[in-house]
């Protein structure tokens, strides 16, 4: 029987790299006790996007628990999470992982860790639309995003089908009380 040597890889957690106050920072921002997670992987099994994540949701929690700030903030999983809460529904301890992911995104933005700039740009366009109209105007969101990426015709066929099926409105509609929307944006400014 031969002894195999283990080399360092992205899957190994080196405790010497631990940032001790990181987990407290995430806990305070998310208001979630993620230490209730005992890594049963129910969240990962239920997540509709786990197959494209670099770290499964429970592994992101583990990175936080071990103070692996850089790995947690640089992973694409935090940007891929759509906040559908399937993970929290699946979790036997009701750990709200999507809130933890949102907190990680916020920290990543504040500290300059943008591993998925396209997703971040798309999120900004959605929020800008809500800020302008009180709701999303999908056609404008797509157009602004396409302009920013300089990808004019990448998915034009899908856009045309959506227009023909009346899934995209040419003109935006606005909510009646825009003052409330503006106030929400002021209160939650990042």
- The better pLDDT of the pair 161, 79 is held by 79
Predicted pLDDT at 28: 92
Predicted pLDDT at 186: 78
Predicted pLDDT at 14: 58
Residue 188 in this model has a pLDDT that exceeds 70: no
Residue 8 in this model has a pLDDT that exceeds 50: no
User: 61: buried, middle or exposed (CB in 10 Å: 19+, 13-18, 0-12)?
Assistant: buried
d(CA 126, CA 120): 10
Average pLDDT over residues 30-41: 90
Residue 117 in this model has a pLDDT that exceeds 90: no
- The pair phi, psi for residue 141, each rounded to 5°, is -60, -50
In the chain, where the domains are located: 16-111, 117-187
Predicted pLDDT at 27: 92
Predicted pLDDT at 115: 72
pLDDT tens-digit series, residues 59-77: 999 999 999 999 999 999 9
């Amino acid at each position: 029987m031969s002894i195999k040597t283990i080399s360092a890889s992205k899957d190994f957690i080196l405790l010497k790299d631990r940032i001790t106050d990181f987990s407290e920072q995430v806990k305070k921002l998310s208001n979630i006790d993620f230490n209730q997670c005992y890594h049963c992987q129910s969240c990962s099994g239920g997540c509709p996007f786990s197959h494209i994540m670099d770290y499964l949701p429970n592994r992101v929690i583990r990175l936080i628990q071990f103070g692996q700030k850089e790995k947690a903030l640089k992973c694409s999983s935090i940007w891929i999470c759509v906040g559908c809460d399937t993970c929290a529904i699946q979790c036997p301890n009701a750990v709200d992982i999507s809130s933890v992911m949102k907190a990680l995104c916020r920290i990543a933005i504040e500290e300059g860790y943008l591993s998925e700039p396209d997703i971040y740009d798309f999120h900004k366009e959605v929020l800008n639309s809500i800020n302008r109209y009180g709701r999303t105007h999908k056609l404008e969101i797509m157009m602004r995003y396409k302009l920013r990426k300089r990808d004019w015709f990448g998915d034009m066929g899908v856009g045309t089908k959506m227009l023909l099926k009346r899934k995209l409105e040419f003109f935006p509609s606005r909510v009646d009380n825009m003052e409330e929307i503006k106030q929400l944006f002021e209160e939650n400014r990042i």
